[in-house]
Amino acid sequence: MGEYTIGGKTLKSRFFLGTAQYPSPKILLDSLAASEAEVITVSLKRQMGDGTSMKNEQSLYFDALKQSGAALLPNTAGCKTAHDAINVALMAREVFETNWIKLEVIGDDYTLQPDMFELVKAAEKLIQEGFEVFPYCTDDLVTCQRLLDAGCKVLMPWGAPIGSGQGLINTFALRILRARLPDAFLVIDAGIGSPKDAAHAMELGFDAVLLNSAVSQSHDPVKMAKAFKLAIEAGRLGYEAGVMSQQDMANPSTQVSGRPFSL
């Protein structure tokens, strides 16, 4: 699939993987290895799959993530205002020693839909502070354009609500985003349920896929991580090769002519 550059880093994998809610740190690290992801998201507030705090293991855990060789993408998960998100981003830059930030500003507790007004406000400030901002956003074209105007080079529109596993619920809007924002680096983030959803996103022309729950909540996270790796690669290759257009009627693959083939 070739290399590409994002946020000053040259990468090959188009699989971005989250690190939350895995059954154990070992399964997480094994899943990261199987995925071959080169970008992994991480929060300042870590929790184990059973909800217990990781305070005693936090330092070793973060060290292990750093040693994985993947680029760390801290997030501002749980923030509901631009002010809170900015403060968390500043702390994350100190802790993880990176100017990358996945910017999340949640506007609704039920759907975890981002507050696009606060998101744009936070993005503008963080870019002024020297951050490479990866905003988690909706598929609204106009607001996405506002984020680009603010200086974001990457957009991360949702496929469906976080953790829902519903896949791509509005492919029309996603197709419009890809068509209208041809130069933006677009990452489908949230709602992916199975490898076929990831392949579909890549076939639509998106540049990468970020997911977490579909791997961490599966029966075998390590095997599922590999399945997603292969699906994302297949979807990207299909997009580059050019997926055939759909037809309303049958179109025989073998044309009947007046004479047989000559050998």
- Whether residue 191 is annotated as binding a ligand: the answer is yes
- Whether residue 7 is annotated as binding a ligand: the answer is no
Q: Output 47 or 170, whichever has higher pLDDT.
A: 170
200 contact partners, CB below 8 Å, separation of at least 6:
167, 168, 171, 235
pTM of the model: 0.86
Helix segments in 104-161, DSSP class H = 116-128, 141-150
Calculate mean pLDDT across residues 79-98.
93
Please say whether the beta carbons of 127 and 148 come within 8 A. Answer: no
Give Cα separations from 56 to 21, 46, 49, 91 (angstroms).
Answer: 17, 11, 15, 20
- Whether residue 170 is annotated as binding a ligand: the answer is no
Residue 229 designated active-site: no
Instruction: For domain 4-241, say whether CATH 3.40.50.150 is its number.
Output: no
- Asked whether the predicted pLDDT for residue 247 surpasses 90, the reply is no
Q: Where do the structural domains in the chain lie, given as residue ranges?
A: 4-241
Calculate mean pLDDT across residues 73-95.
93
Q: Output 257 or 149, whichever has higher pLDDT.
A: 149
Residue 87, pLDDT score:
94
- What's the pLDDT tens digit per position in 8-35? 899 999 999 998 889 988 898 899 999 9
